Amino acid sequence: MLLRCGGRVSRRSAGAALWSCRCRCISSNVRVDTSTLEVTRRNELVAADPQRFFPSMTQWDDAGQYTRVSVAEFSRRFGYLTAVGQDAREARDRTSLHGRIRNIRLSGKKICFIDLVENEVGPGGALLPTRESQTQIIVNFSKLQPPVDAEQFANHIDLLRRNDYVRCVGVPGVSASRAQNLSLICEQLPDLLAPIQSPLPSKLLDQTKINNNRVVQYQICPTDLERLVLRSKMIQLLRTFLTRTQGFIEVETPILSAKANGANATPFSVTTKFDNKNLELRVAPELWLKRLIISGLSKIFEIGKVFRNEGIDSTHNPEFTMLEFYQTYASMEDLIRLSQDLFKYVLLHLRDSLPSHSNESTLTRLIMTLEENDWQFKRVEFLTTLSAEMERDFTSVDLNNARELLKMIPEETCSVLFPGAQLRTLSPPQILNKLCSHYIEDRHCQSIHPTLIYHHPLAMSPLAKTNPLDPQTTKRFELFIEGKEYVNAYEEENCPSIQLQNFMKQHEQQLQSRDNELLRVDHGYIEAMKSGMPPTGGFGLGVDRLCMLLLDADRIEEVLPFGSLDDVNRQ
């Protein structure tokens, strides 16, 4: 490339170049960053003729003389050439490759070497390593068919930049160097498919910049895509377990409706244009899925987005992914067995998909722990454990009465658990949730061994079936690993009158407290129940949290393609 002052730049590498200036305005051998200059200069040509630089792939549909393969398939199919050191020049081996230029370099004036990359997922479901997703392209002036003149060759190569997308056609062979690298020997000049118009930085060091520029980060650090690929693999395993091994069918339920319900959470509200009604985004698909159970389906599941108008932290994002499944005639013990089987299936298959994993990874430690315990979860009963930890008998207290619950808590403990709160405004679920977090989760659920807290109070579980041995508790459990909740499951209440009674209790508690996340009365669901709802077990799993656990991510944004809602809004 010639600079305006007359200094000639050596052929570019990834960024800076050495050049000697013939004028006296600047000393010789000054290092300058030419990447921006090169891209800016070419952008003028791109703007003048965009069809040339962004061609349609249709123009190569009739190029049947070349077999199109991926970079990884090219390496697998012709890797043997590096051992025998010869070109495979039979017509049947004429090959077409597509990919991105990682590096470009000249050897003299008539040979150009290009490192071509193409990110690809391997048969195991993981992103292929660089050695399999990159190959060398050799553009030799003397081997092009039909021949081109030296000026045409130089001008065409001069248009190529690092990170451009190109199409290369030729025959497999090996380089003439001592290394004898597998290469595609071009028979034609590379076709430019999409030129880069803004140079990429070498790396982003600041985490905030990474979160705000995910598209750039994925391009300069393709290994970050590995988590997205493995997330996809994990969701695929969840589906496969339910459909192929358990006979479930996948369904879809409404995201928008006049009333979001099914979980203790605050919904997002939206306004429609067609009839000026207020709608809400679902906080859970539960009540819609149970309507399908009432309709006659026996094993159903949904993996989808849910939305809760809550804060953002390391494990919470207002938009997240959940798996929920429902099975008729399933008891709490059936749900526990299903949970154990699901975890075993996903963990073992995901381990087999990973190219490598250390003994210190959470996935490995979790598998080892469960294998040592015959894939059984540890169990902790709610009221029994809470009574033992607080040295109070909670089995004899009205758990729907906030005042009685507060009397069971020592005054000094109250100030720690509810700092600054007006105690008279607390609802029973708020009090019990805080007690569970402090005395049960923090003290019994911190190990890598998955731990069940079971038989939750009815006050916390208005949709769950009452425990026949204790009417104040339910046939419900939650699963914790290293202090974080992953699963919530229970036998579903299928009696319309009892369910209505539970709804009404939640409504009364909402009027007496400032807890806006209690369930609202859903009369439509009650009417549906009256047509007959079989005994049913339901299960909910936080997909994003499970991804965090198995991929050793510290924060939820690390397993979301574009980060948390805060990150999304800045991109």
Compute the distance between CA of residue 334 and CA of residue 151 in angstroms, rounded to an integer.
Answer: 75
Q: Which of 252-256, 282-286, 309-313, 547-551 has the lowest mean pLDDT?
A: 309-313
- In this structure, which amino acid lies at residue 307? F
Residue among 459, 463, 465, 451 at smallest CA distance from 435 = 459
Burial of 93 (0-12, 13-18, 19+ CB in 10 A): middle
- Of 260-274, 459-473, 527-541, 556-570, the poorest mean pLDDT is in 260-274
CATH class of 51-194: mainly beta
- Average pLDDT of the residues of the chain: 88
- Two structure tokens written together for 351: 């381990």
Tell me the sheet residues that pair with 67: 95
Residues 384-408, mean pLDDT to the nearest whole number: 94
Q: What is the mean pLDDT of residues 518-544?
A: 94
The distance between the two most distant Cα atoms of the chain, rounded to a whole number of Å, is: 95
- Does the structure show a pLDDT above 60 at 562? yes
Q: Which two tokens stand for residue 280?
A: 């809400």
Over 70: is that where the pLDDT of 49 sits?
Answer: yes
CB atoms within 10 A of CB 563: 21
**pLDDT over 70 percentage in the chain:** 89
User: How are beta strands 95-107 and 67-68 bridged, if at all?
Assistant: parallel
- The pLDDT of residue 524: 93
Listed by start position, the domains of the chain span 51-194, 224-569
Q: What is the pLDDT of residues 78-114, one digit of tens each?
A: 988 887 765 555 546 899 999 999 999 999 889 999 9
Question: 280 vs 267, 520, 522, CA distance in Å?
Answer: 6, 13, 14
The pLDDT of 378-406, averaged and rounded, is 95
Give the pLDDT of residue 357. 64
Residue 51, pLDDT > 70, answer yes
Domain 224-569 fold: BirA Bifunctional Protein; domain 2 (3.30.930)
Are 184 and 93 within 8 A, CB to CB? no
Q: What is the pLDDT of residue 185?
A: 94
pLDDT of residue 63: 59
Condensed to tens digits (0 to 9), the pLDDT of residues 17-30 reads 333 333 333 333 33
Q: Which residue has the higher pLDDT, 204 or 467?
A: 467
Q: What is the pLDDT of residue 512?
A: 76
Tell me what the mean pLDDT of segment 351-355 comes to.
79
Q: At residue 503, does pLDDT exceed 80?
A: yes
- Per-residue pLDDT tens for 430-466? 999 999 999 999 999 999 999 999 999 999 999 999 9
What is the reported pLDDT for 35? Answer: 61
Query: Given pLDDT bands bounded at 50, 70 and 90, which one contains residue 353?
Result: confident
Integer-rounded Cα radius of gyration of the chain: 31
* Structure confidence at residue 506 as a pLDDT band (50, 70, 90): confident
Asked if residue 398 lies in contact with residue 378, where contact means CB atoms within 8 angstroms, the answer is: no
pLDDT (mean) for 335-345: 99
Question: Residue 222 burial (CB < 10 Å; 0-12/13-18/19+)?
Answer: middle
In sequence order, the 6+-apart residues with CB closer than 8 A to the CB of 244 are: none
How does DSSP assign 298-315, residue by residue?
A: SEEEEEEEEE------SS
The answer, yes or no, to whether residue 42 has pLDDT greater than 60, is yes
